[in-house]
Amino acid sequence: MVEIIVRYVHFIGIIGLGATLVAEHLLISTELSAQQIKKIARIDAVYGISALVTLIAGLLLWFVVGKPADYYLKNWIFHTKISLFILIVILSIYPTIFFIKNRNSTLSKISVSKAIPIILRVELTLFLLLPFLALMVARGYGSF
C-alpha cells in the first residue's frame, strides 16, 4: 500500500510539473505587467514544489519502496531519464531568478528576455520525453 501512495504522489508531482510549465509558457510574453509577473512567480513556486515532490517520491521509489535499486542502477535509459530531469531543473534556474527578482517590481511594464520563452519551450520538449523513458524502464528496456 505504501508503494501505491508513493507512486500516486510521484504522479501528482509530475502532473504539477507539466501543468505549471504549460501555464508559464502560456502566460509569458515580451512585456509583462507587475501583476502578471507576480502571477507567474506564484506558478513558478508551485513548479518548484512539484519538482521537489517528484524528486522525493522518485527517490523513495528508487531506494525504499519500489523495485530493487539495482534494477534502476543497471539501466541506461533510467540514467538518461534522471539526466533529463536534472537538465530541466538546471534550465529552470534562469527563469526562476528572473521571476523572483521582478515579482515586487513597481514598473508598469517589465521587459522579458527572449531566452525565457525559449527555455520554457525546451523544458516542455524535454519534459515530454520523460514519460516515454519511464515506460521503457518499467518494461525492462535498457538494462546493461
For residue 57, the SS3 value is helix
The mean pLDDT of the chain is 95
Higher pLDDT, 14 or 70: 14
What digits encode the pLDDT tens for the residues 39-66? Answer: 999 999 999 999 999 999 999 999 999 8
How would you label 19-29 residue by residue, b for 16+ Cβ within 10 Å and e otherwise? ebbebbeeebe
pLDDT score, position 89: 95
Alpha helices in 28-143 (DSSP H): 34-60, 69-73, 76-91, 93-102, 115-138
Q: 59, 127 in Cβ contact below 8 A?
A: no
Share of residues in the chain with pLDDT > 90 (%)? 88
What digits encode the pLDDT tens for the residues 92-101? Answer: 999 999 999 9
Would you say residue 67 has pLDDT above 80? yes
Mean local confidence (pLDDT), 76-91: 96
> Residue 121 contacts by C-beta under 8 Å, 6 or more apart in sequence?
25
pLDDT score, position 144: 75
Q: Model-level pTM greater than 0.75?
A: yes
pLDDT score, position 114: 96
Q: 114, 82 in Cβ contact below 8 A?
A: no
Q: What dihedral angle (degrees, nearest 10) is formed by the CA atoms of 136, 52, 47, 13?
A: 50
d(CA 43, CA 119): 16
pLDDT score, position 66: 81
pLDDT score, position 106: 86
pLDDT score, position 48: 97
